[in-house]
Amino acid sequence: MMYDELIKAITTLGSPKVLVVGDFMLDVYIYGDALRISPEAPVPVLKIKRTEYNSGGAGSVAVNLSDLGAVPYCIGVIGDDENGIILKEALVKAGADVSGLFVVMGRPTITKQRLIGLAQHRHQQQLFRMDREVTEPLNAQQYQDILSTYKTKLTDADIVCLEDYNKGFLNDFLSQEMIRLAKKAGKKILVDPPFTNDYSKYTGATLITPNRQEASTVVGFDIDDAVSAARAAEELVSKFKLEAVVITLDKEGAYLRAGQIRQMIPTRVRSVYDVTGAGDVVLATLAASLAGGCDYRTAVQLSNIAGGIEVGKFGAVSVTVEEILNETISQKHGKDGKVHMVNSLKNKLGWHRRQKQVIVFTNGCFDIIHTGHIEFLKFCKSQGDVLVVGLNSDSSVRQIKGSERPINNQYDRAAVLAAFETVDYVTFFDEPDPLRLIKEVEPDVLVKGQDWAQKGVVGREFVESNGGKVVLAPIVEGKSTTATIEKMKSVGNSELEYEGSR
């Protein structure tokens, strides 16, 4: 599909109502410095710094749906405990309807508690996970109460999601009844299955979204290419009377079998940081897309993008419409996707701030790139998470360097900067100094070269008054654009003299 169509699709999803049924969990992340080994046993000692609570399992699907603009209605069970209260509060904060969450006495809220070690306050690594759960089925009356609530909410829902982690809630009876009722109401019902060898309880569902390993286990053969993926999808559709199958295939993308469509839909290859929650994001994006009017191919393309963004994060973290939009634009325009006018840039930086990321700013002409620039940009990037480069426009360069500069126009210079991995965004300013732009960007860290120590750094007072800091970067001796230009002139003059003497 053309990128313009994807952009139109993700920005016109509306606010569909999605019924989310399944295993609601609380993800607890305990972060601490792991700087020494215990004298009692060969294990790291964790000095706890902070604790974070996130919605997991079906709760993760609900939060993702909310961030995509959908309205999630939750149906599941939690315990009569503190973790259940924390989970409900998190879901309500995300905009979910939690009136369908049943409190079951004597059954703890499913909780996954992870210990995360940090080295030098960074480089987070999961050390250990502790699960608290009861996976026994509910009693008959509880299932009837759940079905009664499901029937009521199904009337208003646009689509249904079953997020099954095999924790005893979605048993054969409940799954089949919910599928039957959804089909009777003319509503699509999507399933994200657990790792199991039998999908019988999902017979008749609209769509199922196993990953490569899960699907391989059910069909009994390895899925290692498009041919085997197609064979597996056909078998799943036939055996379980499904309308569609989406088999997610890691860096290869996903295989879609829906109606006459039998297609491998590729994804952008990227570094994988953590696969936790990837299935939740895919299910949520498919549901929001299909309920928002997208066809299967478009929905899978959007879910590919969303899943790719999620695996680049740590933990089960939701993906927003803005992120999918920015990623789609980036794929369309390549590195030029980093170049923005200040108003567009401010919107993007707003998202990074909500993720608690440190914004670094520097500025310059960057007319002819040399080693000094490369080392300088590396240093800037090391000071935080997101590096914004303020680039003197052509008129700005002429004001401070003279009519012969710049050598390269502002768009060429921006394209070169955007090609560097260390640079996240490039924007322009027309004034001789960047003070107005610094006030617009509001960086956490302002970086200039050490040679500005005596001149005085423009913007220092503003940044420090906002709680930020100014950092001076070391200078690579003997490297400057002016020196490079003078050398080029010198070489040119020598060649002219040589030609004249012949």
The pLDDT, as a whole number, for residue 497 is 46
Helix, strand, coil share (%) of the chain residues, nearest 5: 40, 25, 30
Torsion over CA: 198, 203, 205, 206 (sign): positive
Give the three-state DSSP class for 114. Answer: strand
- The DSSP code sequence of 7-35 is HHHHTS----EEEEEE-EEEEEEEEEEEE
Q: Is 67 a catalytic residue?
A: no
Listed as ranges, residues in the chain with pLDDT below 70 are 1-4, 120-123, 268-277, 310-318, 326, 329-337, 477-502
pTM for this structure? 0.65
Which residues have C-beta within 8 Å of that of residue 83, sequence separation ≥ 6? 26, 28, 108, 109, 111, 132
CB distance 228 to 252 below 8 Å: no
Which residues have C-beta within 8 Å of that of residue 468, sequence separation ≥ 6? 442, 443, 444, 445, 446
Q: b or e along 279-303 (b: 16 or more beta carbons within 10 Å of the residue's beta carbon)?
A: bbbbbbbbbbbbbbebebebbbbbb
Name the DSSP letter for residue 108.
P
For residues 243 and 105, give the distance between their C-alpha atoms in angstroms, rounded to a whole number: 38
Which of 280, 394, 424, 444 is an active site residue? Answer: 280
Q: Which CATH superfamily is domain 339-487 in?
A: HUPs (3.40.50.620)
Beta bridge partners of 160: 19, 189
Measured CA distances, 148 to 58, 98, 116, 204, 239 (Å): 19, 15, 41, 21, 29
Give the three-state DSSP class for 329. Answer: helix
The pLDDT, as a whole number, for residue 469 is 95
Tokens 């989970």, residue?
87
The pLDDT, as a whole number, for residue 367 is 85
CATH of domain 3-24+55-107+134-334: 3.40.1190.20
Domain boundaries, the chain: 3-24+55-107+134-334, 339-487
